[in-house]
Amino acid sequence: MLSDSMARSLNSHLNTEHFSAQLYLSMSSAAGVMGFKGAATWFMVQYQEEMAHFMKFYGYLNSQGVLVRFVAADIPNDYHSLLEMFEKTLTHEQHITKAINHLMDQAVQESDHASQIFLQWFITEQIEEEENDRDIIGKLKLIGDNGYGLLMLDTELGTRVFVPPATTA
């Protein structure tokens, strides 16, 4: 059983994961409009990942008998380059990492073992998310304005495929 406070915190984060999904779907659209079809695919896969994260929270709250509440969000979509999009992606993921850490801190404080087990998957996932973003930012900085380099990277980004998480909570 979750405390009211833990339920509220998890519900709030569920909305953050939903925000993330919409943020990356917007970036997919922006990348496509810029002509980066591969990056559009990459962000579409990121959207699918975020929806899977969101559904994990939804499933966990459901299993704990908590009524899920949604909040509306304003999603920005005003980007000028791939580098800007990936830098904003990394900043956003660092924010998510902090939020997950705070949830874990609360679960530990409340001796809420079930939530600790649930959140462990996300702690590991965030390491990978930030690493992926840093790698792509590094490549984009090396490439600069080189059109051939951007084309090559865009092709590489387009090979990303969505792999559903092995476990669902």
Question: Which residues of the chain form contacts with ligand FEO (CB under 6 A)?
Answer: 17, 20, 50, 53, 93, 96, 129
Least distance to ligand FEO, CB of residue 167, Å: 15
Cβ closest to ligand FEO, residue 7 vs residue 96? 96
Q: Per-residue DSSP letters for the chain?
A: ---HHHHHHHHHHHHHHHHHHHHHHHHHHHHHHHT-HHHHHHHHHHHHHHHHHHHHHHHHHHHTTPPP-------------HHHHHHHHHHHHHHHHHHHHHHHHHHHHTT-HHHHHHHHHHHHHHHHHHHHHHHHHHHHHHHTT-HHHHHHHHHHHTT------S---
Least distance to ligand FEO, CB of residue 50, Å: 5
Least distance to ligand FEO, CB of residue 154, Å: 21
Cβ closest to ligand FEO, residue 50 vs residue 112? 50
Residue nearest to ligand FEO (CB): 53
Cβ closest to ligand FEO, residue 36 vs residue 57? 57
Least distance to ligand FEO, CB of residue 122, Å: 7
